[in-house]
Amino acid sequence: MTAPLRYAYLHGFASSPASVKGTALAERFARLGVTLEQPDLNQPSFSALTYSGALAALDAMDDAPSARWCLIGSSMGGYLAARWAELNPDRVHRLVLLCPGFEMTSRWPGIIGESAFARWERRGSLPLPGPGGRIVTVGWGLVEDARAHPALPEVPCPTLILHGQRDEVVPFEISERYAAARSGVRLIRLDDDHGMVGSLSRIYRESADFFGLLCGG
C-alpha cells in the first residue's frame, strides 16, 4: 500500500511561516486540495536559532509515521529540507529546494563582512535583521551548530532545485555543482535573484508537477 503524502514549506533565515513565498504557495496548493504545512523553524527562537533546533521542529511536525513528506525549502529552509531528508531517508518522498543555503558557514563572512563575522564570534552575538525586518541579536551558537552539520547534505530521494541566476546570497554555481555531481538532482535556472518572488508562478507549477499534483503529472 502506498504511503500517504504530506506537504510542507520550510522558510529561510530571517523569515517565518508568514513568508511571502510560503503564503503564496500555500494558497495555490490549497486550490488543489492540498495543505502545505509551514512549521516555524526559528527554534528555540530566532535569537537562539540553530540548525539542530530547526531540525527538531521538523521531527515534531513528523507525527504521522504512516505518511511521507514532500518538502519545499527556501534558502536555509532548503538546506534544512535536504539535511532532514538525509537524516530521515524513509520519511521523505521528494524535495524541491529554492536557492538552497548550502555551504552556509563559508558564505557568511562574504554576506555580512569579514569584520562583522569576526565580531560575531568574539562577542558571541550580533544584531541582524530578523523576521519582519526587526533587528534581533543572534547568538554565535548558530554558526557553531551549523559547523557540526555537513555543508552539502546528501539527498536520498528525487530532488528538484530552482535557483535564481542573479542570486546575491547563495551563488547559483553552488547549486550547479551540487546537481551536476548527483544523478537524482535536477536543476532549473531562473532569471531571478535570491528572493525569487518574481518566479512564484513558475515555482508553483514546477513543484506541483514534480509532486505529481497536476493533471498528467
pLDDT for res 100 = 98
Q: Is residue 122 a part of any domain in this protein?
A: no
**Rounded Cα distance, 143 and 58, in Å:** 20
**Whole-Å CA distances, 101 to 15, 67, 97, 123:** 13, 26, 9, 25
Quote the pLDDT of residue 70.
Answer: 98
46: number of Cβ within 10 Å: 22
Q: Provide the number of structural domains found in the chain.
A: 1
For residues 167-174, give the mean pLDDT.
97
Residue 206: inside a domain, yes or no?
yes
Whether 36 is in a domain gets the answer yes
Q: Is residue 65 part of a domain?
A: yes
In whole angstroms, give the CA distance from residue 11 to residue 75. Answer: 7
Q: Is residue 202 part of a domain?
A: yes
pLDDT score of 199: 97
User: CA 186 to CA 149: how far, in whole Å?
Assistant: 23
Dist. CA 19–CA 21, nearest whole Å: 6
Q: Is the peptide bond before 153 cis (omega within 30 degrees of 0)?
A: no
Which residue has 497536476 as its cell numbers?
A: 214
> Does residue 118 lie in a domain region?
no
Residue 30: pLDDT over 50? yes
Q: Give the distance, in angstroms, between the CA of residue 177 and the centroid of all CA atoms in the same chain.
A: 18
The mean pLDDT of the chain is 96
Query: Does a structural domain hold residue 157?
Result: yes
Is residue 33 assigned to a domain? yes
| Tally of residues, the chain | 217
Domain that holds residue 89: 5-104+151-210
CATH code of 46's domain: 3.40.50.1820
Calculate mean pLDDT across residues 36-65: 97
Residues 87 and 31: their CA atoms lie apart, in Å, by: 32
pLDDT-based confidence at 2, cuts 50/70/90?
confident
Q: Which residue has the cell 518538502?
A: 71
